[in-house]
Amino acid sequence: MINKVIELSEQNLYACYQCGKCSAGCPSVKLMDIMPNQVIRYLQIGKPDKVLQCKTIWICASCYTCSVRCPRGIDLTRVMEAIRLIQLRKNIDYIKVREISEDVLVSVPQIALVAEFRKHTA
């Protein structure tokens, strides 16, 4: 699994020395079930299930904060995308589009909806 993620993200996950700077600065970390640095950690120690089942990869909104600060130059944004894609390509959606309320649909800007569908559905 780690090799698949490395291939899709073009990031060397072995370079991560677990300093945690990604997690420390992540604006969405409060709602995550595992820390962004732990996403890499579980892949490093060969526990991909933890990563595939976590909420973290779906909460990550590609804000690139971790990417610009990583001392080892790992673009974690791309790592998260790779893991999401591994799930989505099994045709497993993270959200059910039909369950989005009418209220939300009419109020949020299109960019929010398109982005949501791109990131959270197969």
Q: Using CB under 8 A, list all residues that contact another protein.
A: 7-10, 17-31, 34-35, 37-38, 59, 61-65, 67-73, 75, 77-78, 81-82, 85, 94-95, 100, 104, 107-116, 118-120
Cβ closest to another protein, residue 48 vs residue 85: 85
Cβ closest to another protein, residue 6 vs residue 48: 6
Cβ closest to another protein, residue 13 vs residue 38: 38
- Residue 55 Cβ, how far from another protein at the closest point, in Å? 9
**Can you tell me the distance from the alpha carbon of 10 to that of 85, in angstroms, rounded to the nearest whole number?**
14
Selection from 70, 58, 73, 68 nearest residue 28 by Cα: 58
* H-run or E-run covering 54: none
- Residue 106 Cβ, how far from another protein at the closest point, in Å? 10
Q: What is the DSSP letter of 53?
A: T
The Cα angle at residue 18 between residues 17 and 24, in degrees rounded to 5: 135
The Cα angle at residue 101 between residues 116 and 105, in degrees rounded to 5: 55
Cβ closest to another protein, residue 35 vs residue 43: 35
- Residue 82 Cβ, how far from another protein at the closest point, in Å? 6
